[in-house]
């Protein structure tokens, strides 16, 4: 049977990660955080002392990515975030990560009957035939505020203005790149979470998915 695939796209700190994990648990699906692949590429390049903008080197790292790279404790730092959005604009990096993501969607691990993939281009490029496409977004201010509080909770001493500016330049890199820019698929359910808490987002998305799958079964 064809696996049930949920494509979940949106900018950083829009609430995709939490939502993807909750959807996967609710529907018994596997979950792939595709941003962690780009983060792992960016982090390994920094660790090896190379420039993330070096397309040839970045493409080789993407091709040889190892499961252990996804366990790096520095995957979520600001330096890795920046490096990941630089490598994500390199077409050969994206091409080298594409087959692996599609394979995950076609053959979800652990015998699961489907998968949730979250990222930027899941509904448009990786899984254009996904059963459900979601695009979760929020204003720059709301997202920067969330990231600021996350950093504070993690014991860092962030500067609010710097967090906002870094997020704005990451948005620009993700949205303006030529290959697979951040875009809602034409058939995506778009939800602005600026004023919504995580429970409300989850309830609205589940209601949408259930109504869509019900009408398909009818």
Q: Contact letters (x/-) for ligand DC, 85-124, by CB under 6 A?
A: x--x------------------------------xxx---
Q: Contact letters (x/-) for ligand DC, 142-171, by CB under 6 A?
A: ----------------------------x-
Interface stretch with ligand DC, choices 20-28, 31-39, 128-136, 137-145 (CB under 6 A): 31-39
The 10 Å Cβ neighbour count of residue 144 is 24
Interface stretch with ligand DC, choices 33-41, 45-53, 148-156, 161-169 (CB under 6 A): 33-41
Q: Identify the residue among 4, 34, 59, 137 touching ligand DC (CB under 6 A).
A: 34
d(CA 52, CA 169): 16
Q: What angle do CA 19, 40, 191 make, to 5 degrees?
A: 25
Query: Which residue, 139, 124, 80, 129, is CA-closest to 106?
Result: 129
Nearer Cβ to ligand DC, position 29 or 122?
Answer: 122
- Minimum Å gap between C-beta 39 and ligand DC is 5
CA dihedral 144, 169, 54, 90 (to 10 degrees): 90
- Minimum Å gap between C-beta 184 and ligand DC is 13
Nearer Cβ to ligand DC, position 70 or 213?
Answer: 70
84 contacts ligand DC (rule: CB under 6 A): yes
Number of chain residues interacting with ligand DC (CB under 6 A): 13
Determine contact, residues 94/180, Cβ cutoff 8 Å.
yes
| Integer Rg of the chain from CA | 17
Instruction: Please tell me whether residue 69 adopts helix, strand or coil conformation.
Output: helix
- Residue 209 neighbours by CB under 8 Å, 6+ apart: 6, 23, 27, 132
What does the chain come to in residues? 218
- Minimum Å gap between C-beta 174 and ligand DC is 5
Chain residues that interact with ligand DC, rule: CB under 6 A: 12, 34-35, 38-39, 84-85, 88, 119-121, 170, 174
């Amino acid at each position: 049977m064809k696996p049930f695939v949920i494509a979940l796209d949106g900018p950083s700190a829009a609430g995709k990660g939490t939502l993807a994990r909750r959807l996967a648990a609710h529907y018994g699906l596997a979950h792939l955080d595709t941003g962690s692949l780009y983060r792992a590429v960016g982090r390994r390049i920094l660790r090896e002392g190379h420039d993330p903008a070096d397309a040839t080197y970045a493409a080789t790292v993407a091709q040889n990515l190892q499961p252990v790279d996804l366990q790096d404790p520095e995957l979520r730092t600001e330096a890795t975030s920046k490096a990941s959005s630089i490598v994500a604009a390199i077409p050969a990096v994206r091409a080298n990560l594409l087959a692996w993501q599609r394979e995950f969607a076609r053959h979800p691990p652990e015998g699961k009957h489907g998968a949730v993939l979250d990222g930027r281009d899941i509904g448009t490029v990786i899984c254009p035939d996904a059963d459900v496409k979601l695009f979760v977004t929020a204003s720059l201010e709301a997202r920067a505020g969330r990231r600021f509080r996350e950093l504070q909770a993690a014991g860092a001493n962030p500067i609010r203005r710097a967090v906002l500016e870094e997020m704005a330049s990451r948005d620009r890199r993700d949205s303006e790149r030529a290959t697979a820019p951040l875009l809602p698929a034409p058939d995506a359910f778009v939800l602005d979470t600026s004023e919504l808490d995580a429970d409300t987002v989850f309830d609205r998305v589940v209601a949408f998915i259930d109504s869509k799958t019900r009408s398909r079964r009818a």
